[in-house]
Structure 1
Amino acid sequence: MNQLIRCVNCDAIFLKTPFDQYPEYDPDSTHSPESFRTIEKDDLQDFLKNHRGHRMEELKVLEDSFVSERDYIEPVKTSYFKATNGTEKFVIKKFREKIEEPLRYQLIHGDYCLKCIGIEIRSEEIAKQLQAEFKATPLPPDKLEAFLKLFHYIAKNTDVNKLERIPEESSNPLEIYYRIDDISLVYLLRNCRNIFQGQEYTAIEDFIRRHKDDGVLLLKATYRIQINEVAKKRKRLMAAQIRPERARVVAKG
């Protein structure tokens, strides 16, 4: 079972896993090319030796707090999650710069939030779908462009907090898809009357109502991770450092 361990004195983080004692294998240059040299290892014991005399505590990872700067399947990326010791909450940065490097962890005092930096429409998908459905009577290019500009304007001025998030997850954790809200939908339909008339408007209205809940007319919000770092509580750290000294004095006396 995995266990997240924090050195209270220096804020170093170690993730204890069942693989900590797995040996490493290096090619043995003194023998045949097929030979390997076994290197025994114990990552947890190495961590404890490096922090001998320091106070240790276990942190509990908070559920649904994981977020990453790149796609979930990317092996080289920076991710963040939240953890607590029961009193304080921390942000844990998980990262590596090269695929062959082990994962590293860094404790950050503070919190993080996701800040929306823009809402986009799926212009290419919309254009393709319109061209496919209006194949018999294609929309004039200027009207297609006007429709996309109108929808883009509405999306750009929409409050993301008033949108309904779709349940499906994106491969990129910083890209979230939403359904268009009712007020924006009415505004879109009303202003489409300035672009389309007669049968064209009826057809575009049917198109909008048919696709407002599927992938074609979904709104894509892009976020960035905002770290809100705070100063470490010095008193607690000093107490952790002084406690062993007091213990030695009492024992000596």
Structure 2
Amino acid sequence: MNQLIRCKNCDDLFMKTPFDQLPEYEWDPHHTPENFRSLARDDFQDFLNHHQGHQLEHLKIIEDSFASEKPYSEPLKTSFFKATNGKEIFVIKKFREKIDEPLKYQLVSGDFSLKLAGIEIQAEEISRQLKKEMIPPLSQTQIDAFLKLYHHLVKTINIQECTRVQDEASHPLEVYYAINEVHLMYLLRNCHHIFKGEQYLAIEAFIYRHKDDGVLLLKASFNIHLTETAKKKKVASPSLPLKKEKIIEKK
């Protein structure tokens, strides 16, 4: 289990993971037939040695506080998240500059928030799904009219009135939402102007089928707004032996 540890004396951070003691492997053409040699390492012990006599504390990462301008899968990026010791909330910058470097964690003086940049429908996905599912098939004019209607509806929506759908986006600044019952009724009522008879029944079924977890989800995009403040003047903490800090017990 990962643990985020802060040195109260100098504000250094360390992310303790199960991989801290894994060896490194170095290319050595004169060593073994496999041409690699193992180098012992213990990153956490190095951190303890460097902060000998300092006070350490465990920080709990605040759920859903992660933000980054690049996708989750991008290894080279700067991210921000929040953590707390139960009394204070800290803003933490997570980054690395090269792919072969370990991740670094740094306290940031200030705060960040996410500002809504825009809301959009999944037009291409909706069009593709309508062509795939609707029997008898819709004309392109009908598909375009439905997209125009849905796009008009989105302009009137307050995203705070919608339900956030978890684990849909691959990007930290993209969030998917399901429309509420009021928006649903508006959409269905106005579909009567585009579809008649069996086609209306088919589009109604399509809307109910995809409103909560499919192509009718709305995609909201956000920007990171970082507010930096002057760093607070630290009051020196008395040094304590590391063995008194529960968080640093080694097993």
TM-score (structure 1 length as normaliser): 0.75
Q: Paired residue for 1:26?
A: 26
Aligned length: 238
Identity of aligned residues (%): 55
**Is structure 2 residue 105 aligned with structure 1 residue 109?**
no
CA, structure 1 residues 128+19, in 2 after alignment: closer, same or farther (shift >3 Å)?
closer
Higher relative contact order (CA 8 A, sep 6+): 2
Residue 231 of structure 1 corresponds to 230
Q: Deviations over 1:145-179 (max 9, x none)?
A: 12212211212331110001235543434332222
Change (3 A) 1:214 1:43: closer
SS at match of 1:41: coil
Gaps of 5+ in 2: 240-251
Paired with 2:164 and 2:209, the residues of 1 have a C-alpha distance of 18
Q: Which amino acid aligns with 1:143?
A: Q
TM-score (norm 2): 0.76
Deviation at 1:139, TM superposition (A): 2.6
CA distance in 2, matches of 1:64, 1:118: 24
Asked whether the 8 Å contact 1:23–1:40 carries over to 2, the reply is: yes
RMSD value, Cα: 3.1
Segment of structure 1 superposing worse, 187-196 or 154-163? 187-196
Q: CA deviation at 1:60?
A: 1.8
2:236 maps to which residue?
Answer: 240
Structure 1 segment 48-197 matched on structure 2, within 5 A: 48=48, 50=50, 55-69=54-68, 70-136=70-136, 138-197=137-196
Cα distance in structure 1, aligned partners of 2:20 and 2:198: 69
Structure with the higher fraction of residues in helix conformation: 1
Question: Structure 1 CA distance, aligned partners of 2:64 and 2:208?
Answer: 35
Q: 1:20 to 1:127 in 2, by over 3 A?
A: closer
1:212–1:218 Cα contact (<8 Å) kept: yes
Larger radius of gyration: 1
| 1:72–1:173 contact (8 Å) kept in structure 2 | yes
Question: In structure 1, how many angstroms separate the alpha carbons of the residues matched to 2:129 and 2:37?
Answer: 59
Tell me the secondary structure at the aligned position of residue 215 of structure 2: coil
Q: Aligned partners of 1:175 and 1:21: how far apart in 2?
A: 36
The equivalent of 2:249 in structure 1 is: none
Is the 1:83–1:89 Cα contact (8 Å) retained in structure 2? Answer: yes
Greater shift, 3-12 or 119-128, is seen at 3-12
